Amino acid sequence: MDTKFKEAIRLIDSRNSKDPNKEIYQGEEYPKELLYSQRMTQHLDEFSPDAPEELRIAARAQHICRWQVARNEYPMDRVGYLKWRNDLKKVHSEITAEILEKVGYEKDFIDRVTFLIQKKKIKKDEDSQTLEDVICLVFLEYYLKDFAAKHEDEKMMDIIKKTWAKMSERGHQAALKLPMDPKSERLVKQALS
């Protein structure tokens, strides 16, 4: 990988390391979004080892500075949730574009990365679909268990069905091989039956 790429990743990680929210993983404390971005890269490397540079950066920057746009500043309903998600995509894209410009990437490259971060044309654009698959895989492996502890089984099965619908067949195959706790595994099986 060239110097621009390494510097872009370093700057993304630097921004995410400022996350005031922490997560304990394997006995160690991490800034939440830094850990998320590392998980995205790890899953992308496993799922699509030949992914283009634009996709690698988009995966790493997927949640960049996410804590700056608080969910509780929006109505706690579906409309509020969707508005929050759309605003997040814009913020993630803008911050990433600034970083990429700073390290010397061309406008076309930056435009492609921001297109991917905004998750446009899922199911129609191969890289957008790959990114969506990776997002779903990371959710299922690392975040489903905690989410399921806070919600009723019925709601969780609905969430799993919606997650599954966003994924490709290749994504489905990868998801079925993920390590999961017994409750998460049961919920996935029930949701898919």
Q: How many CB atoms lie within 10 A of CB 3?
A: 9
State which of 87, 118, 149 marks the end of a domain.
Answer: 118
pLDDT at 183 over 70: yes
- What is d(CA 61, CA 53) in angstroms, rounded to the nearest whole number? 12
Range of the structural domain that residue 39 is part of: 1-118
Say what the pLDDT of residue 93 is. 96
Do 183 and 96 sit in the same domain of this protein?
Answer: no
Q: Is the pLDDT of residue 1 over 70?
A: no
For residue 65, is pLDDT > 60? yes
Q: How many domains does the chain contain in total?
A: 2
Q: Which residues contact 84 (CB under 8 A, 6 or more apart)?
A: 69, 71, 73, 74
At 190, the pLDDT band (50, 70, 90 cuts) reads: confident
Residues 95 and 140 grouped into a single domain:
no
* Average pLDDT value over all residues in the chain: 93
Statement to judge: residues 10 and 33 lie in one domain: yes
The answer, yes or no, to whether residue 100 has pLDDT greater than 70, is: yes
Q: Do 15 and 79 fall within a single domain?
A: yes
Q: Are 9 and 57 in contact (CB under 8 A)?
A: yes
Same domain, 30 and 81: yes
- Residue range 112-140: mean pLDDT, rounded: 93
* C-alpha distance from residue 49 to each of 45, 52, 107, 165 (Å): 5, 9, 25, 23
Same domain? 2 vs 70:
yes
Sorting pLDDT into bands at 50, 70 and 90, what band is 123?
Answer: confident
Percent of the chain past pLDDT 70, that is, above it, reads 99
How far apart CA 73 and CA 63 sit, in angstroms, is: 18
pLDDT of residue 166 exceeding 60: yes
Q: Are 96 and 134 found together in one domain?
A: no
> 20 and 59 share a domain?
yes
* Confidence grade of residue 13 (pLDDT, cut at 50, 70, 90): very high
**Residue where one domain finishes, among candidates 118, 134, 166:** 118
Mean pLDDT confidence for 145-149? 86
Tokens at 105, concatenated: 């990437």
Name the domain boundary from 71, 86, 118: 118
The whole-number average pLDDT for the span 17-25 is 95
Q: Are 15 and 99 in the same domain?
A: yes
Q: How confident is the model at residue 151 (pLDDT cuts 50, 70, 90)?
A: confident
